[in-house]
């Protein structure tokens, strides 16, 4: 159950990370789906730790989602240089002499 | 003569031109995205990343090669996720691979192990504070189990400190941790150092890599006091949330890097002739 949930969110993140918003030909999506099918009954194959595949999936999910959130915050707040007179006036609720009353 | 005068005058005017527009700061522009499609190649037992028809190279100019397929796919995906510019400061997984390949500071394996060993004495979760009861309760319930787990897992005898003086790390403890670290290959150690540097804690980094803690939880434990103080003083998105997301992304990159570079992921299949 947890694996299916992780898979869905991973595909969602990959979709939002790709520039065209489409993961039909994405290598990562294909690889993750193949891993999901391979370990769908158990991931106790190949002498791995318990739930290792799930752990890696969740870690990659954290990586993608944290980067996305970081970029969103960065875009909102990073400095864009000095504000223009109009922007400053708007900020404090003043009008420019040229604006209609 | 007239020409010479012109030549002399020209630089002076451009100099003034620069001086007048001083308030603008000049940063190096990030390179533009020059490729459309990224892909992965398998060559000579190693995986390479291609950008259109070109092969990806490290900043040092060597060819980018990794032993693990998922890591190559993740790097290719990261390059594909760049929009108009290639923002290298936000590509932690690729940056970690590049550092491991180029080794810009020429670290040897012993250097890296010593760096981690010396970090133990300044580990975040070994320094606790009992003047404020609520904070100390939080530290006891959240951090102490990790210290206990580490001591059991690695056979060490680390103890927390409540004062300014650093905790006592015996030579025996160091020997045990260094034996574990030396059993890894060099590139895996870059991942360990990256995790330790991000979390400011060796114990939490080991717990995250050993799957004892999830990445978000390890990041939260590393920021325990900040979160506690933010409850009283307020939380601002552009500082606290930003640093939290960055910490999580960096830690996730290093945990992935360590796991995907460990030998257990390379399955050798028998050739059927």
pLDDT digits (tens, 9 = 90+) for B72-99: 999 999 999 998 999 989 999 999 999 9
pLDDT band at A48 (very low <50, low <70, confident <90, very high): low
- In the prediction, which pLDDT does B133 show? 93
B147 and B57 belong to one structural domain? no
| Range with lowest mean pLDDT among A64-73, B9-18, B111-120, B248-257 | B9-18
- In the prediction, which pLDDT does B13 show? 42
Is the pLDDT at B15 greater than 60? The verdict is no
**Is B165 a domain residue?**
yes
**Is B271 a domain residue?**
no
User: Which residues in chain B are closer than 8 Å to A28, comparing Cβ atoms?
Assistant: 73-74, 76-77
Q: Within an 8 Å CB–CB cutoff, is residue B264 touching chain A?
A: yes
What is the count of residue pairs from A and B with beta carbons less than 8 Å apart?
91
In terms of Cα–Cα distance, which of B189, B204, B191, B181 is closest to B123? B204
Is the pLDDT at B14 greater than 50? The verdict is no
Per-residue tokens: B128 = 């606790």
ipTM score: 0.85
User: Which residues in chain B are closer than 8 Å to A73, comparing Cβ atoms?
Assistant: 237-238, 241-242, 245
pLDDT band at B268 (very low <50, low <70, confident <90, very high): low
Distance separating alpha carbons of residues B31 and B209, to the nearest angstrom: 33
Q: What percent of chain B has pLDDT over 70?
A: 87
Q: What percent of chain B has pLDDT over 90?
A: 75
| Range with lowest mean pLDDT among A34-43, A44-53, B64-73 | A44-53
Distance from CA of B174 to the nearest CA of A (A): 26
Span B175-181, mean pLDDT?
95
B124 and B183 belong to one structural domain? yes
pLDDT band at B10 (very low <50, low <70, confident <90, very high): very low
Distance separating alpha carbons of residues A42 and B167, to the nearest angstrom: 42
Residues 12-41 of A with CB under 8 A from B: 14, 17-19, 26-28, 31
Q: Within an 8 Å CB–CB cutoff, is residue A9 touching chain B?
A: no
**Is B122 a domain residue?**
yes
pLDDT band at B19 (very low <50, low <70, confident <90, very high): very low
B215 and B113 belong to one structural domain? yes
Structural domains of chain B, count: 2
Is the pLDDT at A43 greater than 50? The verdict is yes
Distance separating alpha carbons of residues B241 and A73, to the nearest angstrom: 8
- In the prediction, which pLDDT does B3 show? 54
Span A1-24, mean pLDDT?
88
Write out the residue range of the structural domain in which residue B88 sits.
Answer: 38-102
Query: Any alpha helices (H) in chain B, and if so which ranges?
Result: 2-20, 69-80, 92-102, 109-119, 133-154, 171-182, 186-199, 202-209, 215-222, 224-233, 242-261
Distance separating alpha carbons of residues B72 and B41, to the nearest angstrom: 9
- In the prediction, which pLDDT does B269 show? 52
| Range with lowest mean pLDDT among A45-49, B29-33, B56-60, B203-207 | A45-49
B199 and B163 belong to one structural domain? yes
**Is B26 a domain residue?**
no
The CATH number for B89's domain is 3.30.2180
The CATH number for B200's domain is 1.10.3580.10
CB contact under 8 A, A66 and B83: no
Is the pLDDT at B11 greater than 50? The verdict is no
Distance separating alpha carbons of residues B141 and A27, to the nearest angstrom: 43
Q: A46 or A37: whose pLDDT is higher? A: A37
B52 and B168 belong to one structural domain? no
In terms of Cα–Cα distance, which of B216, B199, B218 is closest to B208? B218
CB contact under 8 A, A28 and B74: yes
Is the pLDDT at B18 greater than 50? The verdict is no
**Is B200 a domain residue?**
yes
In terms of Cα–Cα distance, which of B82, B85, B120 is closest to B204? B120
B156 and B171 belong to one structural domain? yes
- In the prediction, which pLDDT does B16 show? 45
**Is B22 a domain residue?**
no
- State which of B56, B76, B102 marks the end of a domain: B102
- In the prediction, which pLDDT does A35 show? 86
- In the prediction, which pLDDT does B23 show? 60
Under 8 Å between Cβ of B261 and B71: yes
CB contact under 8 A, B216 and A46: no
- In the prediction, which pLDDT does A21 show? 81
CB contact under 8 A, B241 and A73: yes
- In the prediction, which pLDDT does B265 show? 53
Q: A87 or A70: whose pLDDT is higher? A: A70
Is the pLDDT at B266 greater than 70? The verdict is no
B120 and B235 belong to one structural domain? yes
- In the prediction, which pLDDT does A99 show? 81
User: Which residues in chain A are closer than 8 Å to B90, comparing Cβ atoms?
Assistant: 67, 70-71
- In the prediction, which pLDDT does B61 show? 93
**Is B13 a domain residue?**
no
- State which of B67, B102, B137 marks the end of a domain: B102
Q: Within an 8 Å CB–CB cutoff, is residue B50 touching chain A?
A: no
Q: Within an 8 Å CB–CB cutoff, is residue A52 touching chain B?
A: yes
Q: Which residue of B has its CA nearest to A81?
A: B24
- State which of B102, B123, B156 marks the end of a domain: B102
- In the prediction, which pLDDT does A14 show? 93
Per-residue tokens: A17 = 């990370």
């Amino acid at each position: 159950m947890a694996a299916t949930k992780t898979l869905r969110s991973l595909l969602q993140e990959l979709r939002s990370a790709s520039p065209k918003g489409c993961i039909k030909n994405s290598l990562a999506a294909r690889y993750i789906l193949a891993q999901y099918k391979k370990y769908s009954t158990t991931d106790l194959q190949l002498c791995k730790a318990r739930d290792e595949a799930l752990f890696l999936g969740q870690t990659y999910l954290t990586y993608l989602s944290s980067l996305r959130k970081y970029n969103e915050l960065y875009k909102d707040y990073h400095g864009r240089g000095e504000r223009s007179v109009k922007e400053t006036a708007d900020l404090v609720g003043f009008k420019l002499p040229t604006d209609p009353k | 003569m007239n020409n010479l005068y012109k030549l002399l005058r020209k630089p002076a005017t451009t100099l003034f031109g620069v001086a007048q527009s001083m308030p603008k700061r000049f940063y190096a522009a990030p390179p533009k995205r020059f490729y459309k499609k990224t892909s992965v190649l398998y060559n000579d037992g190693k995986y390479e990343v291609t950008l259109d028809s070109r092969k990806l190279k490290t900043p040092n100019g060597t060819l980018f090669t990794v032993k693990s397929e998922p890591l190559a796919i993740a790097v290719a995906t990261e390059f594909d996720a760049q929009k108009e510019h290639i923002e290298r400061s936000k590509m932690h997984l690729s940056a970690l691979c590049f550092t491991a390949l180029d080794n810009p500071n020429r670290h040897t394996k012993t250097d890296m192990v010593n760096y981690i060993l010396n970090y133990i004495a300044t580990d975040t979760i070994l320094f606790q504070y009992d003047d404020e009861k609520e904070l100390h309760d939080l530290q006891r319930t959240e951090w102490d189990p990790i210290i206990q787990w580490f001591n059991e897992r690695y056979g060490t005898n680390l103890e927390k400190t409540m004062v300014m003086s650093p905790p006592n790390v015996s030579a025996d403890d160091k020997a045990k941790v260094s034996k574990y670290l030396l059993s890894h290959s060099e590139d895996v150690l870059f991942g360990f150092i990256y995790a330790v540097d991000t979390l400011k804690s060796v114990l939490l980094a080991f717990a995250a890599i050993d799957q004892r803690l999830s990445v978000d939880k390890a990041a939260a434990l590393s920021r325990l006091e900040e979160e506690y103080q933010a409850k009283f003083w307020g939380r601002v998105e552009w500082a606290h949330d930003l640093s939290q997301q960055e910490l999580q992304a960096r830690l996730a990159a290093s945990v992935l890097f360590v796991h995907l570079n460990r030998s257990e992921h390379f399955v050798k299949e028998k050739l059927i002739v």
